[in-house]
């Protein structure tokens, strides 16, 4: 398997299934780990960095051999391949653009990705569609146990797992849930959600994580504190309290919208469909913005011209690197806008 073989697939996080799939697009858990007795990457020399890379890639490849996973030497990968991995949520933007020996092991079904030499020596992440954090925790805990049998991770009796940045110290866990909240956005209730989540020391970001804007009403909600609660407690609060509460809130806002502004809502949906099926040039941002009302209408059984799989296909495959990889050539912004519009029209008419 090579990186191009990933392209036709949807990836584990965009299957469109799983609990609360009408509102929760995907769930993700990552653990930050560092090898004991080694400097953090912030001070490691190139040769120390290489040593860490060699020993960790060896261990990761033992756990995820070539018949189950794809190992990518990110430092030597093309910028297009690196961008493709970011678009598929398999590596962070930081991992794509930083320098020095680094890599990622991606399970064939894209449900696990282990980044070597990201900010910390190792960042293990598992992904799924819908709200499935408890299953993800079982899975990532098992991966971490297996790695711990052979690697001594930097750990302190009082402070737990030691990380480059003290904001990740303790469990080193980050739980993230990507939610589609169009009705809360349109009714402006989202501001209350954002305030409440901030009060609970949670971060609300765009779909590509830190530093990204919210596009297409997709919000990524994640924990910010990693010390003082167990991994199970953090997962439990997300799975059984915070996220179901926001889901209910979104459903209530959708009902209000349908009850009081049905004509305006339908107008928004059909205009979006009209634009997407006729545009000759279109940006990623406009595409994702227009897909939002369609996604909501499909999920509410109020639009059946396309199904959620087709919508997710368009969502994933119209991103810049995906378009260029599919075309087999690099394209400038204007060329991509044309290719994107062509791809959408073809998907909507088939």
Partner 1 sequence: MDVECEHCKKAKATVHITDVPEKRERHLCEACAQTEGIIIKQTQQTTTAILQEFIKQKTGIETSDELTCPHCKITFREFRAKGQLGCPHDYEVFREALIPLIQRAHGSATHHIGKVPATADEVVRRQAGTLKLRRELDQALQDENYELAATVRDQLKDMDVSESS
Binding site for partner 1 (CB under 8 A): 34, 36-40, 42-43, 119, 141, 144-145, 148-149, 152-162, 164-167, 169-171, 173, 201, 224-233
Judge whether 130 and 137 are in contact, CB under 8 Å.
Answer: no
Residue closer to partner 1, measured from CB, 197 or 299 = 197
Smallest distance, Å, CB 226 to partner 1?
A: 7
Structure tokens at 225: 């504190």
Residue closer to partner 1, measured from CB, 240 or 330 = 240
Residue closer to partner 1, measured from CB, 134 or 335 = 134
Residue 112, CA distances (Å) to 92, 165, 335 in order = 14, 23, 33
Structure tokens at 194: 């954002």
Quickly list H helices, 29-132: 46-63, 79-87, 93-97
Question: d(Cα 222, Cα 209) in Å, to the nearest integer?
Answer: 9
Smallest distance, Å, CB 230 to partner 1?
A: 4
Smallest distance, Å, CB 139 to partner 1?
A: 14
Residue closer to partner 1, measured from CB, 121 or 317 = 121
Residue closer to partner 1, measured from CB, 174 or 322 = 174
Phi-psi region of 333 (alpha: psi -120 to 50; beta: other; left: phi over 0): alpha
Candidates 92, 91, 94; CA nearest to 104 is: 91
Smallest distance, Å, CB 35 to partner 1?
A: 9
Residue closer to partner 1, measured from CB, 60 or 297 = 60
Smallest distance, Å, CB 98 to partner 1?
A: 13
Residue closer to partner 1, measured from CB, 162 or 296 = 162
Count of residues in the chain: 350
Smallest distance, Å, CB 205 to partner 1?
A: 17
Element (H, E) at 174: strand 173-180
Question: d(Cα 249, Cα 28) in Å, to the nearest integer?
Answer: 22
Candidates 57, 45, 35; CA nearest to 120 is: 35
Candidates 212, 181, 200; CA nearest to 284 is: 212
Smallest distance, Å, CB 33 to partner 1?
A: 9
Backbone angles phi, psi at 223, to 5 degrees: -75, 150
């Amino acid at each position: 398997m090579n990186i191009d073989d990933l392209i036709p697939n949807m990836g584990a996080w965009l299957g469109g299934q799983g609990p609360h799939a009408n509102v929760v697009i995907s769930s993700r858990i990552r653990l930050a780990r560092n090898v004991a007795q080694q400097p953090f990457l912030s001070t490691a020399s190139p040769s120390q960095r290489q040593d860490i890379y060699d020993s960790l890639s060896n261990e990761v490849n033992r756990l995820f051999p070539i018949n189950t996973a794809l190992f990518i030497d990110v430092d030597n990968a093309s910028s297009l391949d690196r961008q493709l991995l970011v678009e598929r949520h398999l590596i962070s933007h930081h991992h794509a653009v930083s320098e020095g020996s680094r890599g990622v092991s991606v399970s064939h079904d894209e449900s696990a990705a282990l980044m070597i030499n990201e900010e910390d020596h190792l960042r293990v992440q598992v992904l799924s569609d819908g709200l499935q954090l408890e299953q993800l925790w079982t899975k990532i805990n098992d991966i971490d146990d297996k790695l711990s049998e052979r690697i001594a991770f930097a750990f302190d009796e009082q402070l737990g797992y030691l990380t480059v940045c003290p904001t990740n110290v303790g469990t080193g866990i980050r739980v993230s849930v990507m939610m589609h909240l169009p009705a809360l956005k349109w009714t402006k209730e989202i501001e209350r959600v954002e305030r409440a989540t901030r009060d609970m020391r949670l971060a609300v970001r765009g779909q590509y994580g830190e530093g990204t804007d919210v596009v297409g009403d997709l919000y990524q909600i994640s924990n910010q504190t990693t010390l003082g609660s167990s991994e199970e407690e953090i997962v439990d609060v997300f799975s059984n309290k915070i996220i179901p509460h926001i889901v209910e809130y979104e459903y209530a806002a959708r009902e209000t919208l349908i009850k009081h502004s049905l004509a305006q809502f339908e107008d928004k949906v059909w205009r979006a469909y009209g634009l997407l099926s006729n545009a000759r040039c279109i940006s990623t941002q406009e595409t994702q913005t227009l897909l939002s009302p369609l996604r909501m209408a499909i999920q509410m059984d109020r639009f059946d011209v396309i199904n959620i799989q087709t919508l997710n296909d368009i969502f994933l495959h119209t991103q810049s690197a995906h378009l260029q990889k599919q075309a087999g050539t690099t394209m400038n912004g204007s060329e991509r806008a044309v290719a994107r519009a062509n791809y959408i029209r073809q998907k909507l008419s088939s």
